[in-house]
Structure 1
Amino acid sequence: MKAPSGGKRITKGWLEFMLAEHERKERPGTRVSVADFAVRQGIPPGEGFNSELVLVDVTAELSNGPGEAQEKTYHLAAKFFHADPFAAEINRRFLSHIKELRMYAEVVHELNAFLAARVPEESPICIPKMIYGKENGSEYVLVMENIKAAGYMTNDKRKGLDVEHVMRSVEEIAKVHAVSYAYNKAHNFLEKFPCYQFKIETITVIPAFLTCSLKNCIAYLNTVKGKEELAKKVENAHPILSKKFLALYDDFGNVCLCHGDFWNCNIMFKYQQHDDSQEQTLEGIKLIDWGNSSWNNPIFDLQYLLHTSTTLELRKTHIDDILQKYHTVFTSLATKLGAPLPHYDYSALREDWDRTAIFGFTLGNMLIQGTLSTTNPANKPRGPSILDHGALTPVRLIVNGFKTGMAKILGPIISGPNGGKFMEKFFGGILKPIQKEILSGTNEAMNARLLEILCEADEKGLFDE
């Protein structure tokens, strides 16, 4: 059955078909009759760059024969191609949808089976359960359990993660890294899952974004008392920072499966409430949003997490404990799985951490401005369009077709050697209103985190020639 193209096009008939496919995996012959369903937006605008996410609540009746009917309620999360044709085409180019679908349909099952066979006492890699998936080029849908309904929630991105949540997150990503590393030694991961091969063109837009975001940083530092000299250092270092960033991919080998977008809002936590008090205990964790995953270097996931999702105080106070925890989990689990890491003690990891500081600063600077801003155009909800009217469907299809065509033309240009100038203009338009917000001083959380990461980078000598 043809999959809907988005949340607004979900029908009762498709839900019955999709849920029956799911139920028949365990109970062949099951029929599903949907009594009622509701669809709502899954995430705030600006936090879903790779796809459209909607939440679907379904009440249905399941039957497998005479007199066997039972009512069941489903809480689902469904992903589709991004509603904007340009964004959808770019994500097709970088295989974001395929990588995420395969993660839920095959990869994690394969890794967990490998883990259970060799270290049965270890808990599995935790991601939401897949309900249904389809991808055939023109159609794409991924349906998962809505883990919010089971009590999982994300941390407030404006506050950042505390030590307990960082430690738990680091443990979980270390497990992903260790299991995939060991699996590869026995089975050749990329031969089985070639779509995860890292391609340098996936990060060629970052220098353009860095260039534009640093202009905001320089303007901001010039308004902060005592930071005028730092503003000059950033301005002078500006041309070489992108080169330092790109050079990392020549210096560090790709050794395991990495998340690629490992920050606060892609980690969900569940808590146990104690009856005798208001205190909660962290009970569970699940990692979500795998569209940027690739075979890469694990230190990048750590830099990404800590510089996008924690405060400078936490990093300064607890960095050794955090990295020690990661190193212990990664190396001990890899050894149990039959793939010990030779010549990689904690001092070697710490050296890698220091050498990749430019990665943490670059991604931290970008995400602080991109996700904490209240004026980012990408964070604005899409209002009703006249083209949504049924009578104008032919016009909407023509407009969307034009956007898709332009994306196919521009995609190779963007990811090519001359794409930087084009993307600088594009990102410059997005970052102008963010600069105004920074200079206004109204967004204290964003400004504080931005100043912290700039001062931290200066202390590490990233702006020194």
Structure 2
Amino acid sequence: MKTPSGGGKITKRWLDFMLSEHEGEEQPGTSVDVADFSVNQGIPPGEGFNSELVLVDATAKVTKNGVEPEEKTYRLAAKFIHPDPFSAEFNRMFQSLTKEYLMYSQVVHELNAFLAARAPGETAICIPKLIYGKDQGKEYVLVMENIRAAGYSTNDKRKGLDVEQVMMTVKEIAKVHAVSYAYDKSHNFLEKFPCFAFRPEGINAVRAFTSASLKGSSEYLATVEGKEELARKVGNSRDILMRKFNTLFEDFGNVCLCHGDFWNCNIMYKYHQPDGEEEPTTLEGLKLIDWGNSSWQNPMFDLQYLIHTSTTLEVRKTHIEEILQSYHAVFTSLTAKLGAPVTHYDYKAFREDWDRTAVYGFILGSILTQGTLSTTNPASKTREPSVLDHAALTPVRLLVNGLKTGMAKVIAPKIAGPNGAKFMEKFLGAILKPVKKELLSGTNQVLNTRLLELLCEADEKGIFDE
């Protein structure tokens, strides 16, 4: 059956088919008859760039082996190709949706099977359960359990992760890194899943975002008393930072599967709420979500990304050693248990790698802080109704969308090409003007504080120096 093109196209007939396929995997011949369903937007505007996410609640009658049907409620999360032509084209170029589909349908399953066979006492890698998936040309859907309905939630990005959350999170990503590293030694991960190979074209986007964010940061620092010299240094640091950033990809080998977008809103936590208590008190689990940017890289990049995008300076200053020691202990002990020990990599060597990759943490941290904590980010604005939404104008809407798709196919390769950074710098400079204006206004204390902390911390580490 043809896959719906988006949440608005979901029908009872498709839900009957999809859920019957799902139930039939466990018990062939099972049929599902949906009695009622609802479809709602899964995330706020601006929170998702790789796909369209919707939440589907359905009640149905499930018939197995011809016996009396049982009523069942499904709480689902479904991902479709992003309706924006430019987002869709970039996802196609970088195979973002394909990688996420493979993560849920094959990769994590294989990694967990490998883990269970060699270290049966270890817990499995935690991601939402796959219900149904399809990735065939223009037909794409990924249906998972809605873990929010099971009690999982994302942390408030404006607060940042606390120490308990960070400790649990780094242990989980250390497991992903360790298992994929060990698996590769006997199975050759990239030979089986070549789409996860690192794509250097993505560095162009980082270079462009860096230029745009440094300009805003420099102008903001110039308004902060006592930071005039730092403002000058930051304003002149673009070439220095990019040389250091590029060197990381020359000096560090790509050794394991990395999440690639490992920050606060791509981790969902579950808390235990004791009887009689009004608020949950004990952190009991987590699940890692949104794997579209995953690739085969150096694990230090995931760790730097998480710490510098999702924690406050207080957490970094006070707890960084215990956080890093926890990661190192899990990674080295698990790789050894899986038969692939990492030799000559004691904590001292690991700590040196952390210090050498600090520029990665600063660059991605400063970019994401401005992009996600600003209240004026254009991507976060709700789409207003358009005259083209009228059914009578469907042919016109299709024509306009076709023209947008054509433009995207022309522009996207140029952005990914050798001169793409210059093109993107102009584009980003224009759309990020509201973010810079908010920075300079001082009205968003969380944004200004977190960015100032990152800038001062980077200066203390000498990141802006030759």
| TM-score normalised by length of structure 1 | 0.99
Shift of 1:82: 0.8
1:124-180 per-position Cα deviation (integer Å, ceiling 9, x unaligned): 000000011111111111000000000000000000000000000000000000000
Q: Distance in 1 between matches of 2:460 and 2:30?
A: 63
Shift of 1:232: 0.8
Q: Distance in 1 between matches of 2:359 and 2:296?
A: 20
1:288-347 per-position Cα deviation (integer Å, ceiling 9, x unaligned): 000000000000000000000001111011111100000000000000000000111101
SS of 1:57's partner is strand
Amino acid at match of 1:420: A
Does 2:418 match 1:421? Answer: no
Q: Aligned residue for 2:447?
A: 446
Q: Aligned residue for 1:190?
A: 190
Amino acid at match of 2:151: G
Amino acid at match of 1:291: G
Q: Distance in 1 between matches of 2:432 and 2:243?
A: 22
Q: Aligned residue for 1:366?
A: 367
SS of 1:37's partner is strand
Q: Aligned residue for 1:219?
A: 219
Amino acid at match of 1:128: P
Q: Distance in 1 between matches of 2:157 and 2:435?
A: 17
Amino acid at match of 2:325: Q
Shift of 1:274: 1.5
Does 2:324 match 1:293? Answer: no
The 8 Å contact of residues 126 and 287 in structure 2, kept in 1 or not, is answered as yes
Structure 1: gaps spanning 5 or more residues: none
Shift of 1:65: 4.4
Q: Aligned residue for 2:337?
A: 336
Q: Distance in 1 between matches of 2:285 and 2:349?
A: 31
Q: Distance in 1 between matches of 2:280 and 2:59?
A: 34
SS of 1:112's partner is helix
Amino acid at match of 1:70: E
Q: Distance in 2 between matches of 1:2 and 1:219?
A: 52
Q: Distance in 1 between matches of 2:61 and 2:89?
A: 38
Matching of residues 235-314 of structure 1 within 5 Å: 235-277=235-277, 278=279, 280-314=281-315
Q: Distance in 2 between matches of 1:121 and 1:221?
A: 51
Does 2:68 match 1:68? Answer: yes
1:67-123 per-position Cα deviation (integer Å, ceiling 9, x unaligned): 420111000000011110111111111000000000000000000000000100100
Q: Cα–Cα, structure 1 residues 428 and 175, in superposed 2: closer, same or farther, change >3 Å?
A: same
Amino acid at match of 2:247: A
Q: Distance in 2 between matches of 1:178 and 1:219?
A: 42
Q: Distance in 2 between matches of 1:383 and 1:127?
A: 34
Q: Aligned residue for 2:156?
A: 156
The 8 Å contact of residues 33 and 61 in structure 2, kept in 1 or not, is answered as yes
Q: Aligned residue for 1:395?
A: 396
The 8 Å contact of residues 271 and 280 in structure 2, kept in 1 or not, is answered as no
Relative to structure 2, which stretch is displaced further, 292-301 or 66-75? 66-75
| TM-score normalised by length of structure 2 | 0.98
The 8 Å contact of residues 86 and 408 in structure 2, kept in 1 or not, is answered as yes
The 8 Å contact of residues 127 and 287 in structure 2, kept in 1 or not, is answered as yes
1:192-236 per-position Cα deviation (integer Å, ceiling 9, x unaligned): 111101110123211111101111101100111111110011112
Amino acid at match of 2:379: A
Q: Aligned residue for 1:412?
A: 413
Q: Aligned residue for 2:376?
A: 375
Q: Distance in 2 between matches of 1:297 and 1:102?
A: 20
Percent identity between matched residues is 71
Shift of 1:392: 1.4
How well do the aligned residues superpose, as a CA RMSD in angstroms? Answer: 1.0
Matching of residues 50-69 of structure 1 within 5 Å: 50-69=50-69
Matching of residues 336-355 of structure 1 within 5 Å: 336-355=337-356
SS of 1:195's partner is helix
Amino acid at match of 1:439: L
Q: Distance in 1 between matches of 2:11 and 2:433?
A: 41
Q: Aligned residue for 1:112?
A: 112
Matching of residues 127-142 of structure 1 within 5 Å: 127-142=127-142
Q: Distance in 2 between matches of 1:181 and 1:350?
A: 19
1:219-269 per-position Cα deviation (integer Å, ceiling 9, x unaligned): 100111111110011112223212221221111100000000000000001
Q: Aligned residue for 2:324?
A: 323
The 8 Å contact of residues 240 and 465 in structure 2, kept in 1 or not, is answered as no
Structure 2: gaps spanning 5 or more residues: none
Q: Aligned residue for 1:16?
A: 16
